[in-house]
Structure formats: structure tokens, C-alpha cells
A = this chain, B = another copy of it.
Amino acid sequence: MTVRVAVAGASGYAGGELLRLLLAHPGVEIGALTGNSNAGQRLGALQPHLAPLADRVLEPTTAEALAGHDAVFLALPHGQSAAVAEQLGDEVLVVDMGADFRLRDAADWERFYGSPHAGTWPYGLPELPGARAALEGSRRVAVPGCYPTAVSLALFPAYAHGLAEPEAVVVAASGTSGAGKAPKPHLLGSEVMGSMTPYGVGGSHRHTPEMAQNLGAVAGEPVTVSFTPTLAPMSRGILATCSAKARPGTTGEALRAAYEKAYADEPFVRLLPEGQWPATASVQGSNAVQVQVAYDGTAGRLIAVSAIDNLTKGTAGGAVQSMNIALGLPEETGLSTIGVAP
């Protein structure tokens, strides 16, 4: 079987990373590539690293351009996916790399995104309890946000085993590609090199309710998340440093056992040997997740850290992984756990 794939939004970072992965996917044929402001341009000028596609030209994002494919990936600005998806048949796999269909709570959506809620699709983080089954055979997938991917994988085993109080504290560092390719002064190389700075502080970042949704579902009770993202001087990668007060009786051994159980059979998540901590360079360009957990007896908290590549497992790799599951392909097809380091 060859899956014929279209990509709407092929000129941005998420679209480019998706194409990088699809080019290496043995079961995929790359069909229409669309953009809006960049329609008519050669991909070679926009994504010079994608040599095999250099001569492809972007079409405008229209229903006609996207028709006739088995799968359509949407890498569009938030709020634009629903209108496009409606024009695609129910038999077409639509993988939304935007936020539109991630949240179950309409009020959360409206508060954080300021527009009417479009609905909820099966959630493309198969490592979460129940998520893989919901993706199998689905023709609609909501790819998680990059931060919620890192944070949910760092913390959910602790909540699944009742080891953590329902108040998580997260500080995450992200490479600048997470902020996209639209040029803004604070994203200039001159500004970001040599600098660390937080943004969206105080619970205002849009990924906050998505984290709370994921962890609350696992915990079986509401979990609040104090989330502070920071911009780091690197192109790719998220390091999520997460902690929560340990429930009474929690030990380092119990924590390790919970994480070992959660990730024993997961192809992309690796609980590191004790004493070794995640590093974003180790997962660069791959769909791998490195996780480690420790118990701080003095502070009475568990600390869980994960590293992902925000563009791969955090976006395009997670999308391909979900496509594989939805279409019944082996989950690891076209994806790697080997980072490009140093």
C-alpha cells in the first residue's frame, strides 16, 4: 500500500519537518504541497534542506489541491483547520498539526484561543493510556502541542500510579523553531543567541489547559499545572523539567517502577538508566523521548525530566506516528529513535 499524502502549510517549520520525515517513509508518496503567502514559489527556495523536493512548487491551499489524497496533514495557523477539514471526505485521514481539535473543554478553548470551539478529535499521543486504541482506524487526528507532549510523557506515569499530588510545576526550555518561521524581532538570531528568557508566564500559555487535560485524565482528578515556557538559544528541542509534591509513601523505587512499567514497551520513549539525564541534543531530529525521574526527599517532591525534538516527536514525528497507527501501518515506520548528535 502506498499512502498518497498532501501537506497544507508546507513552507513553515512544521511542514518542512513533516516532509523531511515523509521523504524517508517507505509507504508514502508525497502529493500536493500547499501554502498561502508562499504559493507559487519553489520549495527549494523555502526549504533548502529538502533537496529531493527542490523543484516542487507550492500551490494555494484549496479543496481542489488537497483532493485525491489518502491523507492530508494540516500545518495551518490555529483556527483554520476546521474549514479545510470539512471539505475533505470522511474516508480521508486528516491529521491536524494545529491546536483546533485538541481540547475537550469548549470553555478552555474559548478562553485560551478566543474563537468558537471546533470539536475534539482522537489525540495523537499514543503513549497515553487509551490513546493508541482511539487512534486505530480513526480518520481524524489532533496532533498534541509540543510542550504537552514533553510534559505529559514526563509526568503521566507518576499520576497513573497515584504518586504525585495534583499540582504540577513545569518549567520548559524550547528551541526557537517552536515559535515558527514568521519573522519577529525577538526571534532574530542576534536576540536569541546567548539569551534565555521566559514568555507566557503565569498560566497564560495556550498549552497549559492541554497539559491539565492529559494529566487530569490519567490521575482521575483535576490536576493544575503551573507552566513557564522559556526560549533557549538553540533551533530545536524541548527540555521539560517537571515536579510535583510526592504523595505520602512515595519512594524513589516506586517512582522508578512506575516509569519502567509505563515505558517498557513503548518504541519511542526511553527511561534512561539511573543517574543519566535527558539532553535535547540526544534526540535531535528523531522521534525519541528521553525521560528520567528522581525523588527529592528533602523537598518532598518528585522531579521528572523529558527531552524531545519539538519539531519531530513534538510535532511532525508525532503526526507520522499517529498516521501509522490510524492506517494500520507498523507504528515505527519512517521514524527513528537515533538523534543527530553532536
Contacts and interface: CB of A to CB of B under 8 A. Distances in A.
Interface residues of A, number: 93
A220 interface: no
Contact of A282 (B48, B189, B299, B337): B48
A295 B202 contact: yes
Contact of A48 (B226, B241, B276, B294): B276
A278 B281 CA distance: 24
A226 B243 contact: yes
A188 interface: yes
A13 B342 contact: yes
A92 interface: no
A336 B228 contact: no
Contacts of A184: 183
A196 B306 CA distance: 11
A230 B230 CA distance: 12
A162 interface: no
A90 B2 CA distance: 44
Interface stretch (A60-68, A80-88, A113-121, A166-174): A166-174
Interface stretch (A134-142, A232-240, A257-265): A232-240
A20 interface: yes
Contact of A280 (B183, B194, B297): B194
A338 B24 contact: yes
B338 A280 contact: no
A314 to B, nearest CB: 14
Interface stretch (A28-36, A49-57, A124-132, A323-331): A49-57
A288 interface: yes
A217 interface: no
A329 to B, nearest CB: 18
A313 interface: no
B340 A285 contact: yes
Interface in A263-284: 270, 272-273, 276-284
Given A49-B281, A49-B341, A340-B285, A195 B303 contact: no
A300 B191 CA distance: 32
Contacts of A197: 239, 277-281, 307
A231 to B, nearest CB: 9
A47 to B, nearest CB: 8
- Most chain B beta-carbon neighbours within 10 Å: one of A171, A199, A234: A171
B280 A195 contact: yes
A151 interface: no
A31 B337 CA distance: 20
A170 B300 CA distance: 14
A273 B224 CA distance: 28
Given A193-B233, A194-B284, 10 more contacts: A13-B190, A16-B341, A45-B273, A181-B185, A181-B188, A183-B183, A189-B191, A195-B279, A197-B278, A284-B340
29 contacts: A13-B190, A20-B340, A49-B338, A49-B340, A52-B337, A169-B169, A169-B243, A173-B230, A183-B184, A189-B192, A189-B233, A190-B235, A190-B342, A193-B233, A194-B235, A194-B236, A194-B281, A194-B284, A195-B279, A195-B281, A196-B280, A197-B278, A197-B280, A197-B307, A202-B303, A208-B298, A224-B299, A228-B305, A285-B285
